[in-house]
Chain A
Amino acid sequence: MIKNFFKTLIIFASIIFLSKSVLSENLTVATPHDPSVDPHWLYLGPNAAYSRYIFERLIDRDENANIVARLAESWENLDDLTWKFNLRKGVKFHDGSDFTADDVIFSIDRIPNIPNNPASYESNVSMIESVEATDSHTLVVKTKNPYPLLLRRLSGVAIVSKSNVEGSTTEDFASGKVAIGTGPYKFKSYTPGDNYQITVNNNYWGVKPDFNDVTFKIMPDGASRVAALLAGDVDILEGLSPSSVPAVESKDGFKVAKRASARTLWLYVDTQNDNSPFVTDNDGNAMSVNPLKDKRVRKALSLAIDRDAIVSKVMDGLAEEANQVVPKGFFSYSENIPENEFNINKAKELMAEAGYADGFGLTVHAPNDRYVNDDKIAQAIAQMLSKIGLKMQVETMPKAVYFGRLNKQEFSLSMIGWDNAFTGSSLMSLSAAFHTKEEGYGSWNAGGYSNTAFDAEVEKASAAFDMQEYEGHLKRAMEILIAEDQGAIPLHSQFVTVGTTDKVDYTPRADEAFEVMLVKKAN
């Protein structure tokens, strides 16, 4: 009787409260990120991804990290320093004005000149010496040095409308007043911390997206996003943690889109300091030598890590072992580097050979809100390393604190994950994270790795226009770094996972950025 009463109550309540979003022309996205509507403000991954809807670039990267023409129709190298771009004709901004070369020049000029921008897009235009319009739709760009990567750099330069944006501030973008681009969507509304809405641009020159109105619901907590998807409040969910994948997949009417991303995680090893900050002897006292400078110890660390267990247990199978700092099969991946080996006995032998049969104390550092399961991976690694006699500790911290300390070389063994999709090769990781610190190189060399032969290969690669030559140098550099020196300990490449209802299909991007245009109505 009472049971029946409750049943009726539940059904009754469901009828009243049930409000599944009706999927027709509208799409609701659950996302962890707040957008910056100003496409030149704050160069963070999610902001760059958001800017793709309203704004376009001359050249963009597609979901497979290949270059595609957008506002530039074609381009050519006049010489090593000079590039000519033919711009697409007949493209109109959302307010009806024509897109011309002046808008491009204005956008390139605006990027370095936004006051107080803590993370400027400047690094994407700083190599440009001059930009000139030879007519309304032809542009000549000169670089300071030979710069083969210019096209990829320009994929990080969103084009805004000069007539609208001139004299405006970032606040004018957030209010929508000057959020006017040429992209497939137009600005509709933005409530910070709550939702961001865009609506389709009917005059778009390119392929029209499948959905007319898109609402991003901003939800930083992962479990709440999953709950929202399963409750039918949203159609698609960005940033699904591997552990939640089964919950989505096993439910009728839901599915998960996944692919290997171009981001590879590895461990920096302090190969520079004689007193490494987080290396101690077994009693916790500082050591006069840094065992990590011994190549045998670094090899032992790599041998002791069971990457298979990390992939299957911590990442729920949603990752791929990595034996170098780019994913397998990626451009510039070197086949000459041997597969990872998991061999505790061999690791112990190497440790004994180096004179550390009894181990030493070591702390592994990692962020706890940056990569998929970053803090869990760090703990698993510590477990594994403790099996070869090391006295391990783990310290994780929010990215806000972590990267600052990492940059100051405050750690001995530390985690990082690098997205290789931007350059489409290992160049950025190798030149920034491993080249000896000097002008233009090694700005993220947190392990202090330094090898002149390696540096020479990286420098040759960054000035090479010929793709084969370019790849050859990168492969060679990677072989020196990993196979010869074990200057870093590669871990794995993570997957991008996106949960959806079965009414939509999604193709994830290699650079992990979310893109509404890749969401299609399911047949």
Chain B
Amino acid sequence: MLIFLTNRIIQSFIVLLAMSLLVFAAVYAIGNPIDVLINPEASEEEKLKTIKNLGLDKSLFEQYFIFLKNAFKGELGYSFVHNRPAITLILERLPATLELTISALLIAIIFGIPLGVIAGLNPNNLVSKSILATSIFFFSLPTFWVGLILIMLFAVSYNFFPSTGRGDTIEIFGFYFSFLTFDGLKHLVLPSINLALYPLALIIRLTFAGIQETLPLDFIKFAKAKGLSRFRIITFHLLKYILIPIVTVIGLQFSVLIAFAVITESIFAWPGMGRLIIESITLLDRPVIVAYLLVIVFIFMLVNLIVDILYSFLDPRIRISDK
């Protein structure tokens, strides 16, 4: 187990390093940030001074090595736009994005698994068929379109929920979270539903498929023969068995959702990392773009690692081997 972990960590580290080089080169190939940010009237002299101050006069390689050196110290550069450390900017906004993503995933899990089970147990009745058909719809809906329809319907026409933004927050360990206040929860509803549709569809379909594959298996028949209650069979035997692929997908979806939150965040004015990246792309705030992408890759790897470890707990057959 320990060897497996160290192996994975070293592997992840190498990927992170390679990624940083690629991302750095790609992002720094976009136009000159000075052209965007500098005041139109600035003199040539002023421009040169700024370029030098920002280290943009150095070659791409030099810039990268300076970047790496700082990265080891935990600094991912200073935002050109905000004059604050890029990593601080991102971490400040991480809680908002995590809150949104996790609520979306929770919605998807809470509704997805039961719906999938209902559909899977009686695949031929009308309810199940409509669940499956709806899931394909959810699968196919363009997020931004649904977002606006949600705002129009529930915020503008009926005023159930606030249209945009994040509600009141409470500080926990220096980070601000909104899900602990009533106002915050109200603000969270629409964006998390918007973001939840896709993983909801995915979980319904996975659960459905899992149940379909499991029902004919021997151990279920055996459990039935033993006279166990239907409820017990479903919750203990069936669900436990199909949980592995679902956990994997939830893990993978988590990082996908963080990326897709870019769209939801920009429609619902949700102050998360996704909006930061869009703003940074338009303002060519390179340090923030690079730092954001690295943070995302990092989160992705972390989640994968956690999923792998969870595996071994869920399924005794898959003990992580030390090879």
Contact = CB atoms under 8 A, between A and B. Distances in A.
Bind each other: yes
Interface of A: 10, 13-14, 17-19, 34, 36, 38, 41-44, 114-123, 126, 169-171, 174, 191-195, 217-221, 223-225, 227-228, 230-233, 369, 398-401, 403-405, 407-408, 428, 432, 440, 443-444
A165 to B, nearest CB: 14
Contacts of A117: 50, 53, 83
A193 B276 contact: yes
A220 B274 CA distance: 12
B39 A227 contact: no
A369 B36 CA distance: 13
Contacts of A400: 30-31, 33, 36, 281-284
Nearest to A193: B271
Given A217-B269, A231-B162, A399 B36 contact: yes
B35 A404 contact: yes
A146 B237 CA distance: 88
Nearest to B89: A192
B163 A231 contact: yes
A217 B165 contact: yes
A218 B271 contact: yes
Nearest to B88: A171
Contacts of A121: 39
A219 B164 contact: yes
A118 B38 CA distance: 6
A396 to B, nearest CB: 13
A404 B36 CA distance: 6
Contacts of A115: 53
Contacts of A428: 41
B92 A221 contact: no
Contacts of B155: 227, 231
A408 B169 CA distance: 46
Contacts of B32: 404
Q: For this complex, into which size category does the number of interface residues on chain B fall? A: 35 or more
Given A119-B39, A192-B89, A220 B269 contact: yes
Interface in B13-61: 30-44, 46, 50, 53-54
Contact of B164 (A18, A126, A227): A227
Interface stretch (B74-82, B196-204, B207-215, B310-318): B74-82
B231 interface: no
Given A224-B268, A443-B40, A170 B46 contact: no
By Cβ-Cβ distance, the 4 closest A-B pairs, closest first, are A404-B35, A194-B271, A219-B269, A118-B37
A280 to B, nearest CB: 24
B165 A228 contact: yes
Contact of A170 (B83, B169, B176, B183): B83
A119 B35 CA distance: 9
Interface string B267-282: 1110110011011011
Interface of B: 30-44, 46, 50, 53-54, 78, 80-84, 89, 92-93, 96, 148, 151-152, 155-156, 158-166, 169, 176, 183, 186, 266-269, 271-272, 275-276, 278-279, 281-284
A231 B159 contact: yes
Given A42-B81, A120-B42, A233-B162, A193 B275 contact: yes
9 contacts: A119-B37, A218-B271, A220-B275, A220-B278, A369-B282, A400-B283, A401-B31, A404-B32, A440-B43
A169 B53 CA distance: 16
Nearest to A175: B84
Contacts of B152: 227
Contacts of B44: 443
A117 B36 CA distance: 13
A398 B31 CA distance: 11
A227 B284 contact: no
Given A192-B92, A220-B279, A36 B82 contact: yes
A122 B93 CA distance: 31
Contact of A224 (B36, B42, B269): B269
A228 B163 contact: yes
A17 B159 contact: yes
A408 B35 CA distance: 9
Contacts of B163: 224, 227-228, 230-231, 233
Contacts of B282: 369, 398-400
A123 B41 contact: yes
Contacts of B46: 120, 122-123, 126
A17 B161 contact: yes
Nearest to B158: A10
Nearest to B93: A193
Contacts of A191: 169, 176, 271
Contacts of A19: 162, 183, 186
B31 to A, nearest CB: 4
A235 B187 CA distance: 18
A156 to B, nearest CB: 9
A197 to B, nearest CB: 13
Contacts of A126: 43, 46
A118 B159 contact: no
A442 to B, nearest CB: 11
